[in-house]
Structure 1
Amino acid sequence: MGGDVLRLKLWLALLKRTRTTYQGPLVIGHDLMSFVISDKVGAFAPDGTAMK
């Protein structure tokens, strides 16, 4: 459980720092993510599930 807490703290710190200068859409990535860029941009988890 300690790793999950640390991961959450790091994610929240990154989110807070990013939001000081950027208010647009944001996805915090992880290994093996993929993106589709066309008229719209899509981000997908390694199993192909769309990320929101």
Structure 2
Amino acid sequence: MKNYTKKNIKKVWSIGDSKKDRKGRLIYFNGYSKDSDAKGNPFELWQPEPILNK
């Protein structure tokens, strides 16, 4: 999965999705922040461990 903006199309992540960070390590999507950037987009929250179902 790629996370990029092309022609104003932004990737929508689901909790538990994974991607590689800049150093090639696997990271997992944890959700969106309540805060947003200057364009009004919420910040993406990532973590190094997979999310376990409880």
Please confirm whether the aligned pair reaches a TM-score higher than 0.5, indicating the same fold: no
Higher percent of residues as helix? 1
Larger radius of gyration: 1
| Structure with more contact order per residue of length (Cα contacts < 8 Å, sep ≥ 6) | 2
- Scaled by the length of structure 2, the TM-score of the pair is 0.26
